[in-house]
Amino acid sequence: MDYLVHHMLRASAQRFPGKEALVHGTQRFTYQELAQRVEALASGLRCAGVQRGDRVGIYLEASVPQVISIFAVSRAGGVFVPINSELFPDQVTHIVRDCGMKALIMPAWRAPDLGGALAGIPALQFIVTTGAVPESVQLPVHAFESLVSTEPDRGRPDVAISKDLAAILYTSGSTGKPKGVMLSHANVMAGATIVSTYLGITERERILAALPFSFDAGLNQLTTAIQQGGTIVLIKFTFGREVVQKLVDEQITGLAGVPTLWSLLAQPNSGLHKHRLSNLRYITNTGGAMPQTVLKILREHLPSTSVFLMYGLTEAFRSTYLPPEELDRRPTSMGKAIPDTEILVINEHGRECKPGEIGELVHRGPTVSMGYWGNPEATAKVLRPNPLAPAELGDQERVCYSGDLVRKDEEGFLYYLGRRDTMIKCSGHRISPTEVEEVLFQSGQVRQAAVIGIPDEVMGQVIKAFVVARDGSPLEVPKLLAYCGERVPRYMIPRRIDVLDELPKTTSGKVDYPALRRREGL
């Protein structure tokens, strides 16, 4: 029975021992080879002191050691904490301190910047480094290559069960420092199974991992590929053409991305239009609405590729998806609930909304997380009793209140309107930032756009937009405002538009709206 994260690798290694499991550059590993290294590193971590429930950080770029570490920490009985490789030392030390991390796996070259700060964290007992072992660190250091050469103890029984904590993913919020979302083994396994079901993922899949594993959608690329016996191909990229070339070279069948990635691929210099990419069976979008102009370009260049628009949140993983056959009928819809999940639209009185009414999206199902590490107050705000459950059942089940405002049409399809804390109220009108951003995209003048509400004494709030011009194209703000004026009511026209070189991004590639609000002193 497979019920722990590392079981999915074990099962696939038994079914497909000689099949290609992992690719990174010129490195290629079969399932048997990958499983052997995972068993060895798990034994090495246990010998170094990792015990059941210990948090182990993985601060590595997309690499073979990163993948091995995720499954090895699980096999050792620990809790893996993926840390985005782009985070700075103070952000990393916050995560290490916040979750009481016992061990941290990282490149040796990061030691000079991190070593001193890590030495002052009582819970942290040792680090594991890839590359030469640094001399300056004031903590016990183990070489990754040494631990991965440990004699594996394959007969050692697992001590965890599916309800135990498997991973902590740190996610940025609208205020304060990042919080750690706790995922059980059951959460991770359910997420992999559910997504594999509606995407039809099998052992024939070759999935390109373009999103960081510290991001729930990125981690799911790894788990679905391994669970189904497919191949996961790692990539670190700067330009769209690098992604396109990898799609061609590795005959990729599946790719997940966020809107910023799709905007890159939609640019002429990505070269997407030069290749047929007949192997690319599907692409999926998450992390924000895909601009309709970008979606149109992708569909033109990828006529045989199915496009799945999805919605999710780290606290409950994935909530909805729009089947590809619905794209033409309702291209702006989030779709309906993923399998084995119920999506409720709840009003401020705790009752279910009727079609057309605006309410908060509430997620019920097996991917609802265990809450925030060490933060019961924040957990209680997001994970609450099911408002529609019969009183006789008590309030034991927790559902996830997303903070996202949505509406449902007569056929049950959902439409995203914005965050509860980012909806703009102008002269009594409730305005979705997404709707305004879409109009800015449709102008053809901008490559990126983000909208926030800023205080106004008369109107309550007015709209401010931040845009990035299309490559090589000068942006004329008056012309852009005139375009908006021809397509939306006056109250939806931005009062001001700032032209930036790039929009600020979170570590998972989403637009950093809190940073834009801070820029305005909000």
Highest average pLDDT, of 52-56, 328-332, 466-470, comes from 52-56
Residues 488 and 355 in one domain: no
Residue range 431-452: mean pLDDT, rounded? 91
Q: Pairing between strand 429-431 and 254-257?
A: unpaired
d(Cα 269, Cα 300) in Å, to the nearest integer?
Answer: 16
Q: How confident is the model at residue 41 (pLDDT cuts 50, 70, 90)?
A: very high
In angstroms and rounded to an integer, the radius of gyration of the C-alpha atoms of the chain is 23
Map residue 212 onto helix, strand or coil.
coil
Last residue of a domain, one of 133, 164, 179: 179
Residue 26's pLDDT is what? 97
Q: How confident is the model at residue 133 (pLDDT cuts 50, 70, 90)?
A: confident
Tens digit of each residue's pLDDT (9 = 90 or more) over 101-118: 999 999 999 988 887 888
Residues 499 and 464 in one domain: yes
d(Cα 238, Cα 261) in Å, to the nearest integer?
Answer: 10
Tens digit of each residue's pLDDT (9 = 90 or more) over 14-36: 999 999 999 999 999 999 999 99
- Residue (of 83, 86, 504) closest to 260 by Cα position: 504
Strand order in the sheet with 179-184: 141-143, 126-130, 103-107, 55-58, 79-82, 165-171, 179-184
Q: Pairing between strand 282-285 and 254-257?
A: parallel
- DSSP summary character for residue 470: P
Residue 285's pLDDT is what? 94
Residues of the chain above pLDDT 70, percent: 99
Map residue 336 onto helix, strand or coil.
strand
Residues 64 and 162 in one domain: yes
Q: What is the CATH number of the domain that holds 353?
A: 2.30.38.10
Q: How confident is the model at residue 435 (pLDDT cuts 50, 70, 90)?
A: confident
Residues 434 and 407 in one domain: no
d(Cα 345, Cα 75) in Å, to the nearest integer?
Answer: 39
Residues 98 and 82 in one domain: yes
d(Cα 103, Cα 75) in Å, to the nearest integer?
Answer: 15
Write the CA distances from 242 to 245, 247, 351, integer angstroms: 5, 9, 48
- Residue 134, in any domain of the structure: yes
- Residue 42, in any domain of the structure: yes
Tens digit of each residue's pLDDT (9 = 90 or more) over 184-233: 999 999 999 999 999 999 999 999 999 999 999 999 999 999 999 999 99
Residues 79 and 173 in one domain: yes
d(Cα 205, Cα 224) in Å, to the nearest integer?
Answer: 10
- DSSP summary character for residue 492: G
Residues 451 and 408 in one domain: no
Domain count, the chain: 3
Residues 416 and 432 in one domain: no
Q: What is the CATH number of the domain that holds 27?
A: 3.40.50.980
Tens digit of each residue's pLDDT (9 = 90 or more) over 486-496: 988 888 899 99
Tens digit of each residue's pLDDT (9 = 90 or more) over 247-292: 999 999 999 998 889 989 999 999 999 999 999 999 999 988 888 8
d(Cα 322, Cα 325) in Å, to the nearest integer?
Answer: 8
Structural domain harbouring 351: 338-388+397-421
Q: How confident is the model at residue 178 (pLDDT cuts 50, 70, 90)?
A: confident
Cβ neighbours around 394 below 10 Å, total: 9
Angle of CA points 433, 434, 436, to nearest 5°: 65
- Residue 106, in any domain of the structure: yes
Residue 174's pLDDT is what? 45
Tokens of 57: 């950080």
The pLDDT of residue 43 is above 60: yes
Q: Where are the beta strands (DSSP E) in 398-445?
A: 398-408, 414-419, 424-426, 429-431
Residues 52 and 64 in one domain: yes
Residue 470's pLDDT is what? 87
Residues 484 and 346 in one domain: no
The pLDDT of residue 175 is above 50: no
- Residue 263, in any domain of the structure: no
Last residue of a domain, one of 144, 161, 179: 179
Q: What is the CATH number of the domain that holds 482?
A: 3.30.300.30
- Residue 239, in any domain of the structure: no
**Reported pTM:** 0.89
Residues of the chain above pLDDT 90, percent: 78
- Residue 345, in any domain of the structure: yes
Residues 411 and 455 in one domain: no
Residue 493's pLDDT is what? 94
User: Taking all residues of the chain, what is their mean pLDDT, rounded to a whole number?
Assistant: 93
- Residue 278, in any domain of the structure: no
Q: Where are the beta strands (DSSP E) in 389-469?
A: 398-408, 414-419, 424-426, 429-431, 446-456, 460-469
Last residue of a domain, one of 179, 198, 230: 179
The pLDDT of residue 173 is above 60: no
- Residue 18, in any domain of the structure: yes
Residue range 309-322: mean pLDDT, rounded? 94
Residues 159 and 11 in one domain: yes
